[in-house]
Amino acid sequence: MILHDFNLGRLQTMACASVAQHAAPVRSLADLEQALAWASEHDQPVRILGQGSNVLAAEQVDGLTLINELSGLQALAWDEDSVTVAVGSGINWHWWVRFSSAQGWYGLENLALIPGTVGAAPVQNIGAYGVEVESFIEHLEAVSLHSGEMRQFARAECAFSYRDSVFKHAEAGRWFITQVVFRLPRRFRPVLTYGPLQRLVQPTPRQLIEQVCSVRLEKLPQPRAVPNAGSFFTNPMVTSSHAAALQERHPDLPMFRSADGRTKLAAGWLIDQAGWKGWRDPDSGVGTWHQQALVIINPQRRPRSDVLAVAGRIQDDIEQRFGVRLEREPRLFG
């Protein structure tokens, strides 16, 4: 089913005014095949939308937007230690976290309440509170947007790193991820290294999920009430010599050693220190959230250009003050 002049305003959490030239819901592999055949016949570019929580949509999105609603769940194998489950990529991420943990398949608890679909999780290797999804992905399946061919990507082929994967680089815009195959441990080993989780003592999986949810609800605006796309900038990675120079000038700057020898800086701290926390542009109302400077909000549902204008001002200011260019996390859509 191909829809025309389809309103995307409510299908992305930043709520930018946006209309797709053509759109198609994808509820089965047959839907996907038909939609791709239509796009090829009409020579239209193809884009994929999950639940729109990590995109900034253009006012006019040309070509065909595929709206992922693929469902399905299948346990493929299990032994004493782990279970291997294939999960349809259109399934809601938070639902999957709660469901898997309730079955006794553990590991995803710290990633509770991250908005979006299962299929988008590997695209930016979602992470929160000391856990990244890559640790639990065995492989994924994807359909080529150009040839319709089905391909498996083993975890190593996904080139996961901090908020990153091959689907943002060499394979960007080429594949529709149709299912993600997780391997989850059957023994619960909670990761409690992050501040507000440290106070938990031998939590049950359910208590851990509840704690993660309550920390998130306290800190982050809910997109339905206040449109946003979560963290707008990734934490910048700098060389250790750059980090040492910064620390000399700003002894309180939080920084973390990364496995590759570089240092990760807290982008929220930089924005906060520069005085942007809670700031709003008087004309567009676009600004930063008063409890978390890393989140840009769009309460008046303004077009993407207004959001990018504010983001650009923040990037320029941080670069001038700290010599670090912040990188945008949400992806441009159209």
Ligand X SMILES: Cc1cc2nc3c(=O)[nH]c(=O)nc-3n(C[C@H](O)[C@H](O)[C@H](O)COP(=O)(O)OP(=O)(O)OC[C@H]3O[C@@H](n4cnc5c(N)ncnc54)[C@H](O)[C@@H]3O)c2cc1C
Under rule CB under 6 A, residue 176 binds ligand X? yes
| E-state strands within the chain | 3-7, 19-26, 46-49, 55-57, 60-68, 73-78, 82-88, 127-128, 131-132, 137-144, 150-154, 175-185, 228-231, 237-238, 255-257, 263-265, 287-289, 292-297, 331-333
Nearer to ligand X, 51 or 315 (CB): 51
Q: Which of 107, 190, 230, 268 binds ligand X (CB under 6 A)?
A: 230
- 329 given a catalytic annotation: yes
Binding to ligand X (CB under 6 A) within 61-90 occurs at 68, 89
Six-digit token pair at 331? 């992806």
Q: Which of 91, 108, 114, 215 binds ligand X (CB under 6 A)?
A: 114
Instruction: Please state, in angstroms and as integers, the Cα–Cα distance from residue 315 to each residue in 62, 308, 309, 325, following that order.
Output: 28, 10, 10, 6
Binding to ligand X (CB under 6 A) within 43-62 occurs at 47-55
Number of CB atoms found within 10 A of residue 194's CB? 14
- 231 given a catalytic annotation: yes
Under rule CB under 6 A, residue 331 binds ligand X? yes
Q: How many residues bind ligand X (CB under 6 A)?
A: 33
Under rule CB under 6 A, residue 174 binds ligand X? no
Under rule CB under 6 A, residue 110 binds ligand X? no
Under rule CB under 6 A, residue 246 binds ligand X? no
Under rule CB under 6 A, residue 126 binds ligand X? yes
Q: How far apart are CA 190 and CA 208, in angstroms?
A: 8
Under rule CB under 6 A, residue 223 binds ligand X? yes
Catalytic residue among 53, 89, 101, 163: 163
Shortest reach from residue 321's CB to ligand X, in Å: 26
- 163 given a catalytic annotation: yes
Among the listed residues 85, 311, 277, 309, the one whose alpha carbon sits nearest the alpha carbon of residue 183? 85
Terminal-to-terminal C-alpha distance of the chain: 21
Stretch that binds ligand X, among 80-88, 170-178, 301-309, 317-325 (CB under 6 A): 170-178
Give the residue numbers annotated as catalytic, written as ranges.
Answer: 163, 231, 329
